[in-house]
Amino acid sequence: MTKVSEILKSRIKELNVSPAEIAKVCDVNVSTVYKWTTGEIEEIGSTKIAALAKMLKISPSVIVGDLDDEEAEQYLPLSQGRRIPVYSEICCGKGLFAEDSITGYLSLPISSLPNKSADYFAMTANGDSMNDAGIHTGDTLIFRKTDNIENGKIGCFVINDEKAVCKRFNKVNDTIVLTSANDKYPPTVITKDAASDFRIIGLLVMQISVR
């Protein structure tokens, strides 16, 4: 079974953060952080878990060891997986400005990727419009970069160069309809005249749930 200490050590290296930075955020001594990463201290105080999880961009479930081997594999060192850039939040509601900055990276086992030669990116879901599709706020969504999606598939789309949204895609003739998985959100209709302001940027291939 993958040890929590191994995952913490991998994430610290991956994100290039220092034990001193972690110690400051978690309000502990630097020596305590080293003991977390060596396994000398196996149980991390409940008041420190949220801060540590946020600092290392991982789910609190990782820190408490509530993962099976398959789930834990995604946090192993990069030599055993693919480096996936994580971009600013994707809004599963009305949409959120899509920044072009990378906020971090996650490592996924190569065996988990549907196409090993494709390019991937990740975003964090924020909102409830895709709840009925099992997508909730805080979930990490992994997309394969593409500008073409089949009808009925969930993808990541940019509208007017301002909104990055996660929706289900459908195209009928020259009209594109993006639908939510929550009845309280109306569909977004993109006509032929507005198509130049619309971009498909990814196909959802994987989800890391916080639940």
Catalytic residues, by residue number, are 129, 167
Q: Where are the alpha helices (DSSP H) in the chain?
A: 4-15, 19-26, 30-38, 46-56, 60-63, 69-72
Please check whether residue 81 is in contact with residue 74, taking contact to mean a CB–CB distance below 8 angstroms. Answer: yes
Please check whether residue 46 is in contact with residue 52, taking contact to mean a CB–CB distance below 8 angstroms. Answer: no
* Helix/strand/coil for 110: helix
Q: What are phi and psi of 66, to 5 degrees?
A: -90, 55
Other CB atoms within a 10 A radius of the CB of residue 45 amount to: 12
End-to-end CA distance of the chain: 21
